[in-house]
Amino acid sequence: MANLEKEYNKESKEKEREKRENQRNALKAAAAKRPKRSPMRFFKDAKAEFKKVVWPTPKQVLNNTGVVLTAIVITAAIIFGLDSLFALILEQAYSVNLR
């Protein structure tokens, strides 16, 4: 019985090793197919992509900033309220001073 287990483990390890080797070979093949690109080409492409971006107007940025700040204040108030409520409940239930 022990021999069967050893043989099974050996086969299992060999299958794992073969699987890892196949994955490595697939990665190497994919890397070989990828064209080599120069750093200059990368920056030229990046510049072209930045030209395609539709940048927001200063008015839009100000409006969005106001929305974000309002959401932060509301969220902070909710968290503060819940924290105070839970502290009050714990103080009443367990006679613990949390303030």
Q: How far apart are CA 35 and CA 46, in angstroms?
A: 17
Q: Domain ranges in the chain? A: 1-53, 54-99
Q: Which residue has the higher pLDDT, 98 or 75?
A: 75
Q: How far apart are CA 81 and CA 29, in angstroms?
A: 58
Residue-level pLDDT at 10: 74
85 close to 93: Cβ distance less than 8 angstroms:
no
Residue-level pLDDT at 50: 92
Residue-level pLDDT at 44: 93
In 1-99, at which residue ranges do the beta strands (DSSP E only) sit?
none
Residue-level pLDDT at 51: 92
